[in-house]
Amino acid sequence: MRQDKATIKFENVTLDFEKENKFINLNLDILQGEKVFVTGQNDKNRTTLLYLILGVAKPSSGRVIVLDKNLKTLNKIKLFEIRKKIGYAHPQRGLLRNITVEENILLPARFNYSINYDFYKARYEKIIQKFDLSKYTDKLGWRLENIIEKRTLIARSIIHDPDILLLDEPTTYIEEKDKAEIKYLIDDVLPKEFLKETCSTIITTEDDDWAKLSADKNIDINTK
Amino acid sequence: MINKLMYKIGGGISTFIEGIFAPLNILPYAVSALVRDKREVRKTYSMLFYKEVFNVGVKALPLSLVMGLSIGALSVILFPFETISFGIDNIYGSMYVNLLFRETAPLITSLIVIIRSSIGITIELTQMSIDGEIDTLEIIGINPIQYLGSFRVFAGFLSVPILTIYFAFFSLISGMLVTYSLYNIPMNVYIAETLDVMNLKDFIILIIKTVFGGFTIFIIAIHNGLTAAKDRSMVASKTIKSIISSIFIIIIVNLLITVSFYASR
């Protein structure tokens, strides 16, 4: 059931990276079920915000709290446990190159023993059907066209029914004609068919119009 | 000044110790994943494990066969049995057990595995590190050691002893055939002499050496592959490092085991 409970909290987060202040005293609450767009000129800064949520980037000061856990206090194993509850779709080149599309999609669920085996097998069948990936399941990761790679990346990010979904630049590196298809998947198919009501979705994009149209909340990192 | 120096030395020591023991994390992962796989009727881990056993063990059988046959035959051909007997009655059996079974078989098998598997694993994992695939696994919450390392170590653990016994068996067969054709020693006499010299202790020590060998070779290869920086030159440097460290450790440990178990006789 959707509640006004924050799944992600940034408390006075400052990040200095390569002698540059990326964020200064960033305060942010992302609630359960909220769809948040991160916009702004610098794509690296947009991605860094997601890396802070994943615990890949560590804040220079302040706290990042994800699913009630302060990431700074977690060891590597506990950090992996948190990441298992998050779905992340890379902007590109995020697939393992020498395994098939099927193996790539099932990857987050395979070693996640909190997910029922029958549940993720059924979910996989539904995903490849809705994402129109049936023809490509046996193809290796390095042999895919950009749009197929993009769909596979998004499919992989939702296979384990995440509590938080992070979509990093989902409409970049693909042709203009394919952008509408990806937007349709994210705006319509994911919330209706695959995401639980409490799943918070964070999308980084340079497409301000899409953000204005679809976002529950918009974070412009230029102003942060 | 002294504080800084002590801090640096302490840091260096702790990094060194951590570096040595970090690869040992692989083992609990392997065991727990296999048990969970079995309990939850999944084939995730077992599938990778069997595939690796096939790659490390089954695919190495032809090379192991050829090496076993040729080294078994050559040792009989080259050894001057007519002039040297060291005062030993059954020289043929003694030579096989002391030279081939105890020492050569584990060493040559380890070298075969280093050439076939260790190089391949180091290159594959280093390439994955360079391409960012290791980072990808970490980002989606999969420990790379669990996904890429643990089943390989387990496969090495199982395959190397079996390959060594396979090698030892075929070197015995070829030694027996050559002894028969060169010195006219009946095959049953050769076997009887060999069994007379060999005892359970030899077999147990062979297993200890090979289990350690399999474990070491794979841990070194995986550790080097996973710790590679994102730099193309890493492929060559990490592979060379893997080969040299594995060979060095295998030789030293084999020597130490032999000395500690047999030197007092």
Burial of A222 (0-12, 13-18, 19+ CB in 10 A): exposed
Q: Which CATH class is domain A6-223?
A: alpha beta
CB atoms within 10 A of CB A1: 7
User: Residue B265 falls within a domain, yes or no?
Assistant: no
DSSP state of A63: E
Question: pLDDT at position A221, please?
Answer: 79
Domain that holds residue B35: 24-260
Which pLDDT does position A142 carry in this prediction? 86
Residue with tokens 């394919």: A178
Q: Does B59 touch chain A (CB under 8 A)?
A: no
Cβ distance B179 to B185 under 8 Å?
Answer: yes
Structure confidence at residue B42 (pLDDT)? 62
User: A54 at the B interface (CB within 8 A)?
Assistant: yes
- Please check whether residue B15 lies inside any domain of the structure: no
**Cβ contact, residue pair B40, A113, below 8 Å:** yes
Nearest CA among B113, B106, B111 for reference residue B52: B113
More confident residue, A222 or A174: A174
Q: What's the CA gap between A98 and B125, in Å, rounded? A: 12
| pLDDT tens-digit readout, B98-122 | 888 989 999 999 999 999 989 999 9
Contact at CB, A97 and B142, closer than 8 angstroms: no
Searching chain B, which residue's CA lies closest to the CA of residue A55?
B139
Separation between Cα atoms, residue A175 and residue A154, nearest integer Å? 17
The answer to whether the beta carbons of residues A92 and A146 sit under 8 Å apart is yes
Q: Which of B139, B142, B151 to mutate to test the interface with A (most CBs of A within 10 A)?
A: B139
Cβ–Cβ of B133/A97 closer than 8 Å?
yes
What DSSP state is assigned to residue A202? E
What is the model's pLDDT at position A166? 96
- CA B93, B95, B98, B101 torsion-angle sign: negative
**ipTM associated with this complex:** 0.89
The structure tokens listed for A180 are 């509408």
Domain membership of residue B67 (yes or no) is yes
Residue A19 above 70 pLDDT? Answer: no
In a domain, B109, yes or no: yes
The parts of chain B modelled with pLDDT lower than 50 are none
Q: What is the 3-state secondary structure (H, E, C) of chain B?
A: CHHHHHHHHHHHHHHHHHHHHHHHHHHHHHHHHHHHHHHCCCCHHHHHHHHHHHHHCHHHHHHHHHHHHHHHHHHHHHCCCCCCCCCCCCHHHHHHHHHHHHHHHHHHHHHHHHHHHHHHHHHHHHHHHHCCHHHHHHHCCCCHHHHHHHHHHHHHHHHHHHHHHHHHHHHHHHHHHHHHHHHCCCHHHHHHHHHHHCCHHHHHHHHHHHHHHHHHHHHHHHHHHHCCCCCCCHHHHHHHHHHHHHHHHHHHHHHHHHHHHHCCC
What percentage of chain A exceeds 90 in pLDDT?
Answer: 60
Please say if the pLDDT value at position A107 is more than 60: yes
Write out the H or E segment, with its range, that includes residue A58: none
> Given this model, what pLDDT does residue B146 score?
78
CB contact under 8 A, B132 and A93: yes
* In contact, B163 and B109? CB cutoff 8 Å: yes
Q: Does B40 touch chain A (CB under 8 A)?
A: yes
Say if A108 is an interface residue toward chain B (CB within 8 Å). Answer: yes
How far does the CA of residue B147 sit from the closest CA of chain A (Å)?
Answer: 8
Evaluate if residue A1 carries a pLDDT over 60: no
C-alpha separations of B130 from B39, B119, B220, B225, B234 in Å: 36, 16, 18, 10, 8
* Side-chain half-sphere CA neighbours of A178 within 13 A: 14
Kindly determine whether residue A90 and residue B136, on different chains, have CB atoms separated by under 8 Å. Answer: yes
Query: Does the CB of B230 have a partner CB in chain A at under 8 Å?
Result: no
- pLDDT of residue A136 exceeding 90: yes
Please give the pLDDT value at position A18.
67
Question: Within a domain: residue B157?
Answer: yes
* CB contact B146 to A (< 8 Å): yes
Domain count for chain B: 1
Measure the CA–CA gap between A64 and A26, rounded to whole angstroms.
10
Distance from CA of A22 to the nearest CA of B (A): 21
Note the pLDDT tens digit of each residue in B202-214: 999 999 999 988 8
Task: Mark yes or no for CB contact A117/B41 under 8 Å.
Answer: yes
B137 and A111 in contact by Cβ < 8 A?
A: no
Pick from B131, B139, B140 the residue to mutate for testing the A interface (most A CBs within 10 Å).
Answer: B140
Beta strands A35-39; A69-70: pairing state: unpaired
Cβ–Cβ gap B36/A86 under 8 Å: no
Query: Cα(A177)–Cα(A180) distance, rounded to whole angstroms?
Result: 7
**For chain A, which residues make up each domain, given as ranges?**
6-223
In this complex, do A97 and B136 lie within 8 Å of one another by their Cβ atoms? Answer: no
Please name which of A136, A134, A129 lies closest in space to residue A193, comparing C-alpha atoms: A129
Distance from CA of A179 to the nearest CA of B (A): 24
The pLDDT score that the predictor gives to residue A88 is: 95
- B41 falls within a domain: yes
Contact B121, B221 (CB under 8 A): yes
Helix pair angle (B200-226, B234-262), 10° resolution: 160
> A156–B140: do the CB atoms touch at under 8 Å?
yes
The alpha-carbon gap from B126 to the nearest alpha carbon of chain A, in Å, equals 14
Q: Does B235 touch chain A (CB under 8 A)?
A: no
Give how far B264 is from chain A: nearest CA, Å. 47
> How would you label B129-153 residue by residue, b for 16+ Cβ within 10 Å and e otherwise?
bbbebbbbbbbbbbbbbbbbbbbbb
Q: Worst-scoring range by mean pLDDT, A62-71, A170-179, B149-158, B202-211? A: B149-158
Separation CA A217–CA A200 (nearest Å): 11
Mean pLDDT of the residues in chain A: 89
- A152 pLDDT higher than 90: yes
B38 touches chain A (CB under 8 A): no
Answer whether residue A102 shows pLDDT above 60: yes
Closest-CA distance of chain A to residue B34, Å? 11
Q: Using pLDDT thresholds of 50, 70 and 90, give the confidence band for residue A65.
A: very high
Q: Which residue of B has its CA nearest to A115?
A: B40
- List, in order, residues 6 or more apart from B144 with CB less than 8 Å away: B134, B137, B138, B226
Q: Does any CB of chain B come closer than 8 Å to the CB of residue A94?
A: yes
**B245/B240 Cα distance (integer angstroms):** 8
